[in-house]
Structure formats: structure tokens, C-alpha cells
Structure 1
Amino acid sequence: MATTEIGATEQASRRHTRRLKRQDGAFFWLAWGSAALVVVLLLGILLSLLWESLPSIGHFGLPFLWNERWSPAKDIFGAAAPIYGTLLTSLIAMVIAVPTSFGIAMFLTEICPKSLRRPIGIAIELLAGIPSIIYGLWGFFVLAPIMQHTVQPFLINTFGDLPIIGFLFQGAPYGIGMLTAGLVLSIMILPFITSVTRDVFETVPVMLRESAYGMGMTTWEVVRRIIIPYTRLGLVGGVMLGLGRALGETMAVTFVIGNSHRIASSLLAPGTTISAAIANEFAEADGKLYTSALVELGLILFVISFTVLALAKWLIGRTESY
């Protein structure tokens, strides 16, 4: 009788083991397939963009990248102005948003009273849920008039005649332009960088903070010497997340950048970005070369975004080695 019970128990155990192995195998292939699907989709997008861009690539070649002229009526297209606008507006946004986000995260984790941390944190995160077109409308109807009548005249009168940097603030105060677009982008990416930064700041062990304060460090010293070095990987990831959002933004930028296919040295001048140019002109592109040029702009944006992500991965790898 005992032998029979032992045999039944062993059989049940074997069935259970086989079932667990099947489940583990199914999970393994599901996870592997999900990862492979992402790669396949990425390659599919790249190949489709490349295929549709072939007429433009064959016609214009590499000069397409540095040619500024954009004339659909004459089938002359160049990507220099959209590339310049994309990079410049993203740079302006990052210069404004990164230190501001870090400051907000430091305030929430180190200085802010506990009763206010949650309401302020929720308010910042709600900014990320606002549709981009709302930011664009706000920028066009509220921010642009303020820039035109107050901020840009001040910048022109104060910095326009200075050597070295004066050329950045010369021209007419249109209200819209590169600087306005960069400001709107900075507001849009601020909640993303702030949320990531705050979360990684909170991962610092309490003992490290208390030990640093116990040694007589000030709040700034604790942040600079303890918190930032401990969380540098997360900080790089948050910054790159914001940069990726800024590079690909479309509707908000379209409202306030002016949509001018030209390169101007002044930050106050109108311009365009890759995504804004595609959004504005794709519906009216009536020729094969015109459509192909717009798709090639999308291919360039894809390459820029991929390069940014690769650079972020490289920076994280270098940070891990130290």
C-alpha cells in the first residue's frame, strides 16, 4: 500500500514538473517572440522609409542633407533647414528643461514639506498627459503675444548689440520662431525628465543621506556628492527620454515655429523642423519626388533618434565602467 502511494506521488510530481517545464518553455518563447517582434517592426519601418526615399536619394544624393532651398514648384528640396530647426529647438528645450527638472526633483525629494510633495508631484505628472495640440494652441495664443510684445523686444534691446552673442538676438520680434518653439518644447518635456529624476533620487538609501547630513554636509553637498553620483544612470536615461520627446514633437512646434524653410542665425527668426515640415506638407505633396523628399526627411529623423539612443546607451555604458 505504501509502495502504491509513493508511486502515485512520484507520478504526480513528474506530471507537475513536466507542466512547469511546458509553462516555462511557453514563457521563454513568448518573451523571445515579443523581443523579436520589436526588432522586426523596427527593421520594417526602416526599410519602408528607405524604399520610399529612394527616388529622392537617387535624385538629390548627399547634397540633400546640406541644401537649404525648398521649392515644391520646381522640385527642388533640401533638408538643411528642417534638420537645423529640429536640432536647435531641441537644444533650446534641453538647456531650459534639464536644470529646471533637476531643481524641481531636488526640491521634491530634499526640501519640500512632506504634505506638499504628493500634490506637487501629481501636478507635474499631469502636464505629461496634456495633448500636444493644447500646448501648441497655448503657445500660439498666449505665449507668442507675450514673446512678441515683451520678451523678444527685451532680448533685442539688451543682447542684440553685444559682440559674439548679439547675432542670436537680432531681427524683428515676430513672437513665433525658434526660441518660442524651444520654450514650448521645454515645458512639454519637463514633466518626463522631472518624474524620472525624482524617482531615481528617491532610490538613494536613507542611510546614505543621513550619514552625509550627520557629517555636516549641506543639502547642496548631499545632492552633488551623494545623490547625483548614485543615480547618474537614471539621470542620463531621463534626459535622453526628454530629448527623444523633443526631437519628434510635431503639432505643438508647428503652431509656434513659423514654418519657414530657411536657416537664420537669430533664435527669434521663424524656422521649421522635420516633423513640422512633414505634417504641414505631406497632405499636399502631389508629386512622387515631393512625397519621396518628405519620406526622406522622416528617414533622417529616424536616424537622428536612433543616434541619440545609441549615444545614451554609450554614455550609460561609460558611466557603469566608473
Structure 2
Amino acid sequence: MVGTALAPAPVAADRPRAVRSRVSGGDRVFRVLAYAGGAGVVLVMLLVGLFLLLRGWSAVRVAGMSFLTTDAWDPDSGNFGIAAVLVGTVLIAAVALAFAVPLATGTALYISEYAPGRFRRALIALVDLMAAVPSVVYGLWGAYLLEPAAVPVARWLSTWFGWIPVFRVDGADPTNPLATVSVYTASTFIAGMVVSMMVTPIICSVMREVFSQAPVGEREGALALGATRWGMIRAVVLPFGRGGMIGGTMLGLGRALGETIAVYMIISPVFEIKWQVLQNGGNSISALIAQRFGESTEFGLSALMAAGLVLFVLTLIVNMVASAIITRSRSGAASEA
């Protein structure tokens, strides 16, 4: 009929379409194995923590909170704590990261952005091989090769930057060229340098992997707009890989906190809170356990187990935070280009 509008036909409400898929037997087996592997790792970690807690509980019960604030170590007399070795552990890890992070960042950028194809593969294999070198080899290298070369560096730092408390060396005479250099040997500084060589491959591998995932479109867009290679790296690669850089650094920190043999072979153990990283003497929790494990009484072993529990919890927290940062950077990283 002319002039009469037709009513719109009723529209059926939108409903989500049910998607059904059959799970094959292989998928079920893989799912069970994956869940079992993850649960097994968690179970092992819980058992390790429970073992350390049970074995160290008698020492913790005797010492109480003073276990974290006392810098002496004489469990049999009741005067013991991990304040000194805890500070030493953190200082060694800090020195290690101060050397490892710039070296790992530069190496990762060169491998992912500048190195040609065949040379890149060789460098990747070489960096991965460094992570497989035993700790005792690094300790021997540090004690017999690195330490004589590092002492002049430590002396120069204490001469020109001794006004900074961390670089001060008590008993050193910078004006006397014939003064003994023994005050600079077996120090936190040298131990940290050795540990840095051990954590650099871990940090470099994580950074290299994240840098290589930077969006190709944004890389080419920056270069098309006239940016240099370094300008593209600053505008695209580094912002994209910021989370991976932080996560890789924290993974390296977790490794540096628990390093034992190399520190044990280099450092001269003392039980006092010492902030001077260039001066002879220092200690760490892992080195303390290696030094005193064979000669301790039953109660002394309990105190060592308590110290190991503190190191276990500290390393676990660092690694968990690092894993969370790396996972977030892979899933939602974005550049500022």
C-alpha cells in the first residue's frame, strides 16, 4: 500500500556459538605431563625449604630475631648471626651487577643488531658456553689471573675516590708507591668481578632474546624516517626490551647471591659488617656454609641450615620477581616509537 511503512522484521538475539572440540589422547597425556612437571618443581622447592626450616629451627629458636642482626659467628657459645655475611652477600652481588649489566647489555645489542649472520651464531654459542664453565674454573681464574690485574684498579679507586665511604681503604697510604698491596687483595671488589663473569651469560641471553623480538615494522619505520641505527635502537629496541633488561638483571642477581665456590676461593673471610668493597676481607652466606660445614657441631650445622634458609628465601623471591617481569615484558611490551 502506498505511503504505508513496513514494520521491521524481528531480529533474533545474538547468541555466542558453542564451539566443541575433541581432546585427543596425546593432548591428555601432554596436559598430565605438563601439570605433573610443574607440580614436581613446586614440590621440590617446598621440600627444600621445609628441610632447611626443620634442620635450622633449633638455631632460629635460640637466636630469635638477633639471628638477622648479629655479625659474630660462634654458634656453640650462643653468639651468632648472619648480619655480616648477609651484607657481604648483597655487596658482592651489587659489584657483580655493576660490571655484568653494562657488559651484557652491550654484548646483547651487538649480537642482535650489528653482528653478521655467521659471526652472530658463533657469538651466541660462545656466550652460552660461558654459562657452562664450572664455578671452580672461574675461581682459579680470579685468584691467579684477575686479582693481580685488579689490585692496581682498586688502588686507583681508593686513591681518587676514597672520600666515598664504600671506596675507602683503612691502612692504605696512596702517597707511598712502595706500600703493601695486601690490603686490596681477597676483597669484595675482586670477588664481585669474578661473579660478574659468571652472571653475564645469563643476563646477556635474556636481553638478546627480548631485543630480537622488537617489532620489525617499528624498526623499519624509524629507519625510514631518517633515524640512524643507534637512534632506532634507542627509540624502538631499548624501550621494547626494558622489561627483559630488568628481568634478566634480576635473574643474574639471583645467581650472584648464591654463588659459592668462586667467592670461597677468593675472599678472605671476616665476621664484621664491612662496607668497604675495596679492602681486604669479606664474606657471604654461601661461602660461610662452605667454610664451616665440615667442622661444625650439630648445633653449628643447624645454624648453617638457618643461614641457608635465609639465602634460599632471598634467592627465591628475586627469581620469582624476575620471572614475573620477563613474562609481562614478553606478553605486553611496547615501544615508545
Instruction: Tell me the TM-score normalised to structure 2 length.
Output: 0.82
Which consecutive aligned stretches of 4+ in structure 1 deviate over 4 angstroms post-superposition?
313-322
Matched, 1:144 2:155: no
Query: Which residue of the partner structure matches residue 222 of structure 2?
Result: 212
Name the larger-Rg structure: 2
Segment drifting more, 234-243 vs 270-279: 234-243
Rounded Cα–Cα distance in structure 2 between residues aligned with 1:293 and 1:241: 27
Query: Which residue of the partner structure matches residue 186 of structure 1?
Result: 196
Q: Report if the CA contact (8 A) 2:241-2:333 is conserved.
A: no
Q: What's the secondary structure of 2:227's corresponding residue?
A: coil
Rounded Cα–Cα distance in structure 2 between residues aligned with 1:251 and 1:141: 15
Rounded Cα–Cα distance in structure 2 between residues aligned with 1:278 and 1:55: 17
Q: CA deviation at 1:314?
A: 5.4
Q: CA deviation at 1:60?
A: 0.3
Query: Which residue of the partner structure matches residue 158 of structure 1?
Result: 160
Identity within the alignment, %: 38
Rounded Cα–Cα distance in structure 2 between residues aligned with 1:109 and 1:167: 36
Q: Report if the CA contact (8 A) 1:75-1:289 is conserved.
A: no
Matched, 1:83 2:82: no
Which of 265, 284, 296 is 2:306 aligned to? Answer: 296
Rounded Cα–Cα distance in structure 1 between residues aligned with 2:301 and 2:142: 29
Which of 28, 52, 55 is 1:52 aligned to? Answer: 55
Q: CA deviation at 1:166?
A: 4.4
Q: Which amino acid aligns with 1:308?
A: V
Matched, 1:112 2:122: no
Could you tell me which runs of 5 or more consecutive residues in structure 2 were left unpaired when the two chains were aligned. 1-20, 173-182
Query: Which residue of the partner structure matches residue 185 of structure 2?
Result: 175
Q: Which amino acid aligns with 1:96?
A: F
Rounded Cα–Cα distance in structure 1 between residues aligned with 2:292 and 2:134: 22
Q: Which amino acid aligns with 1:170?
A: V
Which of 246, 260, 280 is 2:291 aligned to? Answer: 280
Which of 203, 208, 213 is 1:203 aligned to? Answer: 213
Query: Which residue of the partner structure matches residue 250 of structure 1?
Result: 260
Aligned residues: 300
Q: CA deviation at 1:167?
A: 4.6
Query: Which residue of the partner structure matches residue 43 of structure 1?
Result: 46
Rounded Cα–Cα distance in structure 2 between residues aligned with 1:190 and 1:313: 17
Q: Report if the CA contact (8 A) 2:243-2:333 is conserved.
A: no
Q: CA deviation at 1:199?
A: 2.2
Q: Report if the CA contact (8 A) 1:90-1:182 is conserved.
A: yes
Instruction: Tell me the TM-score normalised to structure 1 length.
Output: 0.85
**Which structure has greater helix proportion?**
1
Q: Report if the CA contact (8 A) 1:66-1:78 is conserved.
A: yes
Post-superposition Cα deviations, 1:53-86, rounded to whole Å, max 9, x if no partner, equal: 1111110001110110112563421100111111
Segment drifting more, 88-97 vs 117-126: 117-126
Q: Report if the CA contact (8 A) 2:85-2:283 is conserved.
A: yes
Rounded Cα–Cα distance in structure 2 between residues aligned with 1:117 and 1:29: 38
Segment drifting more, 120-129 vs 182-191: 120-129
Q: Which amino acid aligns with 2:189?
A: L
Q: Which amino acid aligns with 2:305?
A: V
Post-superposition Cα deviations, 1:239-261, rounded to whole Å, max 9, x if no partner, equal: 22211111111101111121222
Query: Which residue of the partner structure matches residue 321 of structure 2?
Result: 311
Rounded Cα–Cα distance in structure 2 between residues aligned with 1:129 and 1:321: 30
Query: Which residue of the partner structure matches residue 7 of structure 1?
Result: none
Q: CA deviation at 1:299?
A: 0.3
Rounded Cα–Cα distance in structure 2 between residues aligned with 1:78 and 1:45: 22
Q: What's the secondary structure of 1:155's corresponding residue?
A: helix
Rounded Cα–Cα distance in structure 2 between residues aligned with 1:130 and 1:246: 15
Distance 1:154 1:231, change over 3 A: closer
